[in-house]
Amino acid sequence: MKRYNALQLKLFMSILMVFDHLNHVPRLISADLAGVFHILTRCVSVFFAYMAIEGFVYTRSRLKYNGRLFLWAGIMSLGNNLFTDLYTSKGIYVSNNIFLTLAMGILALNIWYFVTNGNKLNAKFLLGIKIIIGIVVTGVGMFFTEGGIVVIPFMLICYGFRNKIKVRNLVLSIFSILLFLMSYQDMGIWQDTVRMLMFNSDWFFISVIPFLYLYNGERGPKSVLSKYFFYTFYPAHLWIIATIAFFVS
């Protein structure tokens, strides 16, 4: 089986991401097609979350890496506010900010790392404080960031079972089933139930697993493109789509 480096897979995931956001442009695609795109792209955010874990593991400075994610989250927040102010007259709002979700997830991993690898001479109450902070950060990240209820638990599971792939896949499968049970609603007509599950499809994040097996563990060519491509592409494509939506609506 041919495998691919991080940059190659990121490029593919970025294409999928665009398809997920095409429904922001009025009359461009039908509601049913938007539903199909939505469920097929549930692997995107968690794949980039997995890449963030890889960055966390191999970076020279975990804190600087975390800081860079928060910096881009701030940049995107400012850009979102600008484009929302420009386009709000036509009911167009830009609120996506996966950088904040990833930053909160990496912050939780940083706390986890320092708790488990910290100075053994630390007082027990200090360890307790770290654990409490970790729980708070995880909770805030899960419920107050884009897709956090899926992405952050996914990051914790993948990091915790990084060297136990079969266990990781089992835990992720159980998590997916729980999300499905939480999402499922009988709409009376099976077609409507399927449409509901397409849009309420966080449970389908599990489709990322085949792509994790396609990853060869290599970053790819070391260049400005490989380092900053996603940082710029993610906000740029959303702002471009919002601009198109403004002029065609």
Tens digit of each residue's pLDDT (9 = 90 or more) over 52-92: 999 999 999 999 999 999 999 999 999 999 999 999 999 99
Q: Is residue 192 part of a domain?
A: yes
Q: What is the pLDDT of residues 185-236, one digit of tens each?
A: 888 888 889 888 888 999 999 999 999 999 999 988 887 777 788 899 999 9
Q: Is residue 109 part of a domain?
A: yes
Instruction: Give the least confident one: 117-126, 152-161, 229-238.
Output: 117-126
Domain count within the chain = 1
Q: Is residue 1 part of a domain?
A: no
Residue range of the domain that includes 22: 6-248
Q: Is residue 199 part of a domain?
A: yes
Sign of CA dihedral 33, 86, 76, 141: negative
- The CA distance from 103 to 65, in Å, is 9
58-61 long-range CB contacts below 8 Å, 24 or more apart?
none
The confidence score (pLDDT) of residue 81 equals: 96
Q: What is the pLDDT of residues 96-108, one digit of tens each?
A: 999 999 999 999 9
